[in-house]
Amino acid sequence: MGAVFAHLPRYPAVRAARWIAWSLLALTSAQAAFGLSLATLNRLAPARLFAEYVVANVTAALAFATVGAIIVARRPGNGVGWLCCAAGVGIGVAAWTGQYARYALVTRPGTLPGGALVAWLNLWVWIPPTAASAVFLPLLFPNGRLPSARWRPLAWLGTLATALFTLSLILSPAPVNASLPEVPNPFAPAWSEEIRWGVDLLALLTALASLATGVAAAAMRLRGARGSERQQLKWVAYATALLVGAILAPAALDPSGFIEDTLLSGILLAVAFPALPAAIGIAVLWHRLYDIDLLLNRTLVYGALTAGVVGVYIFVVGYLGTLFRTGGNLAISLVATGLVAVLFQPLRAWLQRRVNRLLYGERDEPYAVIARLGRRLEATLDPAAALPVLVETVAQALKLPYAAITLAHDGAGRVAAAHGAPQPCLLRLPLTHGGETIGELALAPRAPDEPFSAADRRLLAELARQAGVAAHAVLLTADLERSRRRIVAAREEARRRLGNDLHDGLGHRLAALVRRAETASNLLDGDPSAAKVALDELTRQARVAVAEVRGLAHALHPPELELLGLAGALHERAQGYTGRSDDGVQVRVEVPEVLPPLPVAVEAAAYYIAQEALTNMHRHARARRCRVHLAVVSHDTGEGLTPALTGGRSLQLEITDDGCGLDAEDRAASAGLGLASMRERAAEVGGRCVVTRGAAGGTHVHAQLPIVE
């Protein structure tokens, strides 16, 4: 039977398939109308309409047949549609046979033929369509085929259970209907009590196993589904669990009446039976228009709450009744009712929190998530490990399949940390620090096409703020590491240049001095005048060597900074340019009367930048006036400064002249020399240096060097 369902016919003519489907819907509608008409003639009370499954059978038959016809009309090749049509017809038979038997045997005996035979038919005819809906539909949904050959044993188990349970009722010696007069089963064999008990037990066990198979199949399909198929299976898995629960709940309360007509069973099936075809219709045709998560949430909460309330009531009544050796006591019932009333709201709130955590993670407990994140970050020693900890916490707290942090680096984004398998991200939150966007937090939803709720977004916004701080720390660490590498490279380059200067310049000159001294010594006795000339040359070269040594020392650290301070050194340098300028350039230095103590590195950087700017002015600008302005200013954001050095005060240096300025060729030619040198000097202390053309012409050099207290 399972193999038959797995390969339901696919008619070559779509029109014929649709005609058959709509004909089956018409047949089911006629059966439902016939059953309602007979129920009206039988004058059933509303409670009996539920207890005798009239409401459940009529609504389920119409729902299955309608959904099946619609699916076949739109997707004739999908076997689920044909299975729904068959279930609708089978349930439709059950909808009228019970009322036919009642009318023929009770309401107006003898007026309709075959009352006993129809009553016997009503005893078992509901089993195949129930199995089709509760067992085979979960196995075959959504494409009408088994997922693989490994699922065939489950389909055969359902077929065996259906056959055994049907056979057990067909051959049952019990009356065909407990609510009708004693009508013997015309097909009951003369079996012994042991054989009948064994057949009934085997039928019951296989039926329970097949129902569990239906639920397990829906759960396994849902677990392995992705994309739109997962949204489809959510509906069917939910409805299948609801139907199986409605079938088993009365049996759990009263095992002896598993197949008897009861009001509770009739009400439960009236809700759960048509819910399955409705869920199938939504899943196959319109699943994108609805969301099942809220419905699932409420069902879990109030289902567990109902079970808890009933359990408390039964326990209190039973316990107190046993304790006081009384039953049916009104006082005991009032005590139990009062206890239930007191526990209802706390129990509901507790269950709601647990179900929300099961479905959505900890989105309703933002402070707990932030506190846990803070503790984990506090225990993280390496700043680079903070981002993996953060994305892992976010993904686990909200049960997200994927979370990643992307950091902006050199104008491009790179994934700095990720948790889970990469998936399309529905939500991207910017990571900011100090008003600047430094990256983004990318998040994939719990399921495709499932939007983030307002509670999700509130928690994620708080976590994004934490992530912004952590991301800034990572970027700062990376900046410091790059600065360290640049400093090491600059130091090694300076050592290399110093070594070359000592070897190629001072070394050769000292060697020449030695040779001159030897020459003078050799000439001293024989030719004193020549020796004097050699000594004069030796003196001149010695002075040159001394000047070179001072130049090297000056390059390492200007001694005038130690002697005169930054302001005095700038004044001396300006006077030097003014004194040797042939065109009469005037260099004016403006400094505060009192400069605060400055770090040595900041003083040296400012002095070298000013010196390079004055050199460029003298060589290239052909300026007549130059102004050097020095000031200590406060800054808030410190745009362009190293992030760790923002805030506080900075040393501001401006050099402006009225020369011709640097054109594009000059800037390109000097990019690797003077201008690059000034920028590097500023960057070494966490500052910046910008060279632009002045508003009134000339060149404007602006350097801002942070003062680290």
Tell me the per-residue pLDDT of 251-264, one tens digit each, with 9 for 90 and over. 655 555 444 556 77
Lookup: tokens for 636: 């808030």
How does strand 427-433 pair with strand 412-419? unpaired
pLDDT surpasses 50 at 299: no
Query: pLDDT confidence of 89, banded at 50, 70, 90?
Result: very high
Query: What residue type is 182 in one-letter code?
Result: E
Q: Is 510 exposed, middle or buried (0-12, 13-18, 19+ CB in 10 A)?
A: middle
- Contacts for 23 with CB less than 8 Å, ≥ 6 apart: none
Contact 419, 456 (CB under 8 A): no
Question: What percentage of the chain has pLDDT greater than the value 90?
Answer: 3
Count Cβ neighbours within 10 Å for each residue of 645-656 and write b for 16 or more, e otherwise: bbeeebbbbbbb
pLDDT, mean of residues 671-681: 72
Tell me the per-residue pLDDT of 156-181, one tens digit each, with 9 for 90 and over.
Answer: 877 887 788 777 777 776 655 556 65
Query: pLDDT confidence of 628, banded at 50, 70, 90?
Result: very high
| pLDDT for the residue numbered 579 | 61
Distance CA 515, CA 518 (A): 5
Instruction: Please give the domain boundaries of the chain with CATH numbers for all domains.
Output: 2-290 (1.20.1070), 366-479 (3.30.450.40), 487-553 (1.20.5), 565-707 (3.30.565.10)
Q: Which residues share a beta bridge with 430? A: 440
Tell me the per-residue pLDDT of 461-503, one tens digit each, with 9 for 90 and over.
Answer: 777 877 777 777 777 777 777 777 777 777 777 777 777 777 7
Strands in 403-409's sheet, in edge-to-edge order, are 412-419, 403-409, 436-443, 427-433
* Average per-residue pLDDT for the chain: 73
pTM given for the model: 0.43
Tell me the per-residue pLDDT of 504-531, one tens digit each, with 9 for 90 and over.
Answer: 666 777 777 777 777 777 777 777 777 7
Q: How far is CA 229 from CA 5, 148, 288, 452, in A?
A: 20, 16, 11, 19
pLDDT, mean of residues 137-152: 73
pLDDT surpasses 90 at 629: yes
Contact 675, 508 (CB under 8 A): no
Tell me the per-residue pLDDT of 58-71, one tens digit each, with 9 for 90 and over.
Answer: 888 888 888 888 77
Question: Within the chain, how many helices (H) and strands (E) appear?
Answer: 23, 9
**Of 37-46, 465-474, 687-696, the least confident:** 465-474
Distance CA 590, CA 571 (A): 9
pLDDT surpasses 60 at 590: yes
**Of 6-15, 237-246, 348-357, 427-436, the least confident:** 6-15
DSSP track, 395-453: HHHHT-S-EEEEEEETTEEEEEEEESS----SEEEEEEETTEEEEEEEE--SSTT-PPP
| pLDDT for the residue numbered 622 | 78
